[in-house]
Amino acid sequence: MTRVVVTGATGRIGGQVARLLAAAPEVELRLVGRSLHRAPQLEGVEAVRADFSDAAACREAFAGADALLLVSAGEAADRLAQHRTAIDAAVDAGVGHVVYTSFLGAGPEAGFTLARDHGATEQMLRDSGLAWTFLRDSFYADVLLDFAGEERVIRGPGGTGRCAFVSRRDVAEVAARILREAGPWAGRSLDLTGPVSVSLAEAVLLMTRARGEEYEFVDETLTEARASRASYDAPDWQVEAWISTYTAIASGELDVVSDDVEQVLGRAPLSVEESVTDPL
């Protein structure tokens, strides 16, 4: 049996990974989350509560894991400190292999500001002595629906830049496949993208076609982008992170199409149309 621990089990990626692994007879599965009432209810699967800021709870939750899915913490000022606590706990718990949900182009110079956190976390894992695999996800195609909201309008300074948006379903399936047999993927950074790179103007046309309702892209200036987000009363670092979602696309740095999804799954990744028709 392969003992697998899945963090972020109450989220969409972690929850889907849990459902996929629960059907694998060779996997002994443990789910970890902060609010277990939102975790998938899977027969015979243990679920434990642990927060990345609680080292003792993480050590206990991770104990005995051959493979650990480390789903990155949510947007927070102390995100890196949370990741450090979780990684240290994984070392102390003797985890065999960590699969980390990172971001495409993660590193200190990334245009998407939250990808800088991912780059720092990757370095923590490299320095930890743990075996690791990085899933460097592009922006999720499913999230385009969230960006559009009830008005079905995506607003941001994305210009004509292009991005190969990836389906959450593909990311979850890749993670589940690697967690079942992590060895061949040790020490690898996988760029997980969709099959084709599109602009936001093209993306809304694909969404309109797939869902039978009209979507629109409004290309804001930086000043307009800050003004349209002012009502959320979010801290400056978070507003800049939201806006950098679009400026990273505009810069061209996310115009990357990879075959890594196909390498792992043996099939082409899902398209934007498929992703928004059946979002995770």
Return the pLDDT at 224. 98
- Give the Cβ contact number of residue 237 at 10 Å: 12
Number of neighbouring beta carbons within 10 Å of residue 173: 20
Find the distance separating the first CA and the last CA of the chain, reported in whole Å.
28
Please report the pLDDT score of residue 35 as a whole number: 85
Q: How far apart are CA 126 and CA 279, in angstroms?
A: 33
pTM comes to 0.97
Q: Which residues of 59-72 are buried (b: 16+ CB within 10 A; e: fewer)?
A: bebbbebbbbbbbb
Q: What is the 3-state secondary structure (H, E, C) of 203-224?
A: HHHHHHHHHCCCCEEEECCHHH
Q: Give φ, ψ of 28 to 5 degrees.
A: -100, 115
CA 1 to chain centre: 27
In the chain, which stretches have pLDDT less than 50?
none
Tens digits of per-residue pLDDT, 2-44? 999 999 999 999 999 999 999 999 999 999 998 888 888 899 9
SS3 assignment, position 117:
helix
Nearest Cα neighbor of 125 from 57, 69, 74 is: 69
Tell me the CA distances in angstroms from 168 to 15, 48, 128, 135, 270, one per residue in order. Answer: 11, 24, 28, 12, 9
Gyration radius (Cα) of the chain, Å: 19
Torsion of CA 218, 219, 221, 223, to 10 degrees: 30
Beta strands 97-103 and 27-33 are unpaired
Look at residue 108 in the predicted model and tell me its pLDDT.
97
State residue 38's pLDDT score: 84
Amino acid 218: pLDDT = 98
- Going by C-alpha positions, the residue among 94, 14, 37, 36 that lies closest to residue 60 is 94
Count other C-beta atoms under 10 Å from residue 235's C-beta.
11
* Residue entry with tokens 């939102």: 38
Q: What is the pLDDT of residue 36?
A: 82
Q: What is the pLDDT of residues 43-66, one digit of tens each?
A: 999 999 999 999 999 999 999 999
pLDDT of amino acid 39: 86
